[in-house]
């Protein structure tokens, strides 16, 4: 079972992967965006092979973040608001609204307002059985892009919602 960290993004424009990879490189990150199956196969082979992902692919939905040879990648989904009542993004937002709505604090109101404004969610599944500090760092660097560029608010399973690297609304 994986551990999820999400960025609830309020900007409507989903960035292209080339911009994300360039941003990561500019900051010295070792995170490499790749096609999911290729990244998993490379990790199982004990290698860190060059990415085969088309970084200019529009409307991306799933990618992997490779960060070290022999380590399983972080799996990433981009869930968009497709306008339907059954879309996964809206379902996730509704679930989190239910989880936090009974808390009574200024921070909770901030989170609820942000959830209502969410246009897409980046969900990162970390392979908890096969990750070390550099994997957590790569995930944090990747999600920082969405905080800085897409109006993202971070939520981590078992921790809660973050504002400026501090849990402001804890969740179990």
The model's pLDDT over 133-156, given as tens digits with 9 standing for 90+, comes to 999 999 999 999 999 999 999 999
Name the domain count of the chain: 1
* pLDDT value, residue 1: 54
Q: Higher confidence at residue 125 or residue 101? A: 125
* pLDDT value, residue 164: 86
Residue 164 belongs to domain spanning: 3-170
Q: In what order do the strands lie in the sheet with 32-34?
A: 32-34, 62-66, 74-80, 120-126, 3-9, 152-156, 160-163, 166-170
Tell me: pLDDT of 31 over 70: yes
* pLDDT value, residue 81: 87
**What would the mean pLDDT of 111-125 be, rounded to a whole number?**
97
Whole-number mean pLDDT of the chain?
94
Q: Closest Cα partner for 170 from 107, 91, 121, 90?
A: 107
61: left (phi over 0), alpha (psi -120 to 50) or beta: alpha
The model's pLDDT over 33-84, given as tens digits with 9 standing for 90+, comes to 999 999 999 999 999 899 999 999 878 999 999 999 999 999 999 999 888 8
Residue 104 token pair: 């009574």
* The pTM of the whole model exceeds 0.85: yes
């Amino acid at each position: 079972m994986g551990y999820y960290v999400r960025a609830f993004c309020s900007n409507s424009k989903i960035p292209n992967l080339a911009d994300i990879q360039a941003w990561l490189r500019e900051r010295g990150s070792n995170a490499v965006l790749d096609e999911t199956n290729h990244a998993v196969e490379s990790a199982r082979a004990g290698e860190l092979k060059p990415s085969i992902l088309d970084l200019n692919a529009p409307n991306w939905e799933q990618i992997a973040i490779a960060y070290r040879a022999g380590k399983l990648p972080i799996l990433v989904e981009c869930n968009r608001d497709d306008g339907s009542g059954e879309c996964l993004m809206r379902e996730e937002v509704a679930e989190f609204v239910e989880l936090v709505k009974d808390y009574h604090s200024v921070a909770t109101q901030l989170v609820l307002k942000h959830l209502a404004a969410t246009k897409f969610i980046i969900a990162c599944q970390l392979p908890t059985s096969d990750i070390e500090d550099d994997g957590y760092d790569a995930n944090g660097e990747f999600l920082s892009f969405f905080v800085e560029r897409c109006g993202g608010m971070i939520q981590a399973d078992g921790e809660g919602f973050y504002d400026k690297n501090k849990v402001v609304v804890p969740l179990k």
